[in-house]
Structure 1
C-alpha cells in the first residue's frame, strides 16, 4: 500500500491512510482535486438544510398547536362531568337545576351517548337545552341546536321560545334560518304564528348591525304575525325594542327608515301601535329634532291622538318613573292644545303626587295654581297634602306611632274644599 508523506519541522513523517485522521485528510484532498468547489457547496447545502429543518419545525409546531387546541375543545364536549377537574364548579354554576336535569347534562357529555339527541326523550331534550341556557354554555347549546335541525327534533314550545330569544340575542341568523326551515318541514305551528320567525330574525339582524334589513324583515313578517295574539305580541315587542335602541343610539338615518316602515305598516294593516312606538321614543327624547318628529306624527295621525289620550295615565307614569318631568310638561301642553281636558287633568294629578313625594313645595304650588286657572281642581286628599306641606307638617294620613295623634291631626285639617288665590 502506498504511503503518504508530509514535511514537518523535524523532517519527513509518514501517515498511514488507514488511520482516521489521515484517511479524512486524504478524502478531503481527493474531493477537492476531482471536484473543485464541492466543499463550499457542501457547506451551503448543509446550511440550507439547517434552514429548511428550522422552517419544518416551526410549521410542525403550529400544526401541533392547532391540533392540540381542537383536541381540548373536543375533550371538553365529550368527557364526562365526573372526570372533569371542574366538576364542582359546574355543579355550582348549574345552581338550582333539578337533579334530573343535571343527570341529563352529564349524559350528554358522556362518550357513550356520542352527543346524539336521537336517543333522548322529549323531556330530556328540553332539560338539556334549558340547562345550557341557564349556565350560558354556548358551545353545547349550539351543538344541540344543530342536532335538532339535523334530525328535525324540536323541543316543546316554551323551551323553543327561550332558544329563539337566546339565538336572536347572539345574532345567530344562520341557526334561526335553519330552525325556521325545520318548522316549515315538520309543520310546526311557530312557522305560521311567527311568520317564519320574523321577529327573532329581525332582532338578530339588528344586533349584527343590519338595520335596514332588520326593518325590512319586520315589515314583511308583520302581516303574518297579526293572525294570532302571540304573534302580534312578539312582532310588536321586536319593533319596540328596535325603536328604543334606535333613539338610544341617536341614529338619524335609522330613525327616518323606522318612521317610514311604521307609516307603511299603518297604511297596510291599520295598526297604529308601531307609529305610537316611534312617537313615544321621539317625544321622550331630549333632542329637539326627535321632539319635532314626534310633533309631526301626532299632527298627522288622529288615531295616535286618540290612543295617547286613552293611555294618558300610563304614559305619564312611564315618564315620571324615569324622572322625565320635562316630557310630562310637554305632554300636558299637547293635551291642552288639543282640548283633551280629562287626559290633562290626569297628568296634573300624577305630577302633583310625584312632586309631593319629593317635598317640592314650589312645584306643588305651581301645579295647584295651574289647576285653579284651568278649572281642573285636585282631589281632597291632594289639597290636604298641599296644605300639610305648606304648613311644614307631616302627611295627615301618614301612619304614626300608634297613639292616634296623627288621626287627630287628620281630623283637624280636613276641610271639604279649598280655594287658593295667587
Structure 2
C-alpha cells in the first residue's frame, strides 16, 4: 500500500508544505484516480485535465466548493446517464452560484462577454502605466531598509491597488479595501469550506458604486463600468455588473500575490537564475510561466459530470465530482521533461494549465502576467543580491516555509527577504 493511500487531501495538514509527492503518487496509480474520501475523481494528468477543461459534459457549478457544495446525486440510479436538469434545478443552492466561476454556457458566455467589455485594451494599457508607478511607490516604502516581508510589504498591496485602479475604485477608499481584504482565505482546512464567502463585502461596496454612477454619471472608470452592456446591446442588472467586478477583484489578487511570492522565492534561492534574469530581462516572461507551472496558484478546482463520459481510460458517471489538480497536471512527466526541475528555457512551458483552459480559462491572466513582468523588472532594478532571510526561514539545508492551509490555493503565508539596495 502506498504511504498516501489513506491520505485525505481535504484535511491532511502534512500535504500543505509539499503536496507534490502525493500528486505524483496519484498520477502513478492513474491520471484519473478515484479518491476514498468524499467520492471525488482526482485528475493529475495533463492530457486528462485538458479533456475535462474543454468538454461541455462537465459543469463548473461546483468549481469552488467541490464535494462541499451540498449538491449530491448519490441517490440517483446507476442507469441515469444525464443529470443536467438536476444541476439546473439545484444550481441556486450552490455556494457562489451567482458568480462567473460557477456558471455554464449560455449564462457564462453572456457574463464573459460583459467582462471582456471591462477588460478593454485601452483600459489594460492605462492600468499597465499605473503599475510602473505603483511598483516604485511600493518599493519606496521599504527598499532602503535592505529587508522586507515581501507578501505584506509588496505583493498584497500592489496586487490589490492594481485591481482597484483597473476597476476605478476611488483612491480615498483604497485604505479601507486593503483593511477589509487582508487575510481572506477560501477553503481553509480548519473552517467550514462552504461558509466563507469573501465576496459579500465587495458585492455591497460595488453595488453602491454602480448604483451611484448610473444615477450620477461622471468621467471615470466606474461610470464606464456602470454603463457597460451585454454583447446583444441590452443593459445588465446592477447586481450582474457588480458580481463580475467583485469576482475579478478578489480572484485577481489571489493569483498575483501567489505568483509574485513564488517567483521571488525562486530568485532568492537560485543566484544563478537571479543573475540570468538580471543579464537578460527578456527571460522574465518565460521565468514567470515556469513559476506558474511549478507552483500553480490554484491547487484544486472542481467540475461535475453532466452526463456519463470517459476521461482517458476512466469512466466518469453522471453526477460525479471531478477534482482538477493543476499543480499535478503541470508536473506530468508525459508532458514536461524532468517536471520537478525549474528551467528558465523550457520550450513548452506555456502549455501549463495554471490558468485553466477552455471557456473557464482565467480572464485575468494577461493582467497577472503584466503585474509579474513589471514587478520583477523594477525589483531587479532596485534590489541587488536578493536572498532568503535565514533568521526567519532557516539555512539553505533546513529551510522553513509556511504555506496557506487551504485545499484550494497554493501559496506562501510569508516570505522574508534580505537584499542590497541598488545604488
**TM-score normalised by the shorter chain: which range applies?**
under 0.3
Higher strand share: 2
Q: Which has the larger radius of gyration?
A: 1
User: So what's the TM-score if we normalise by structure 2?
Assistant: 0.18
User: So what's the TM-score if we normalise by structure 1?
Assistant: 0.18
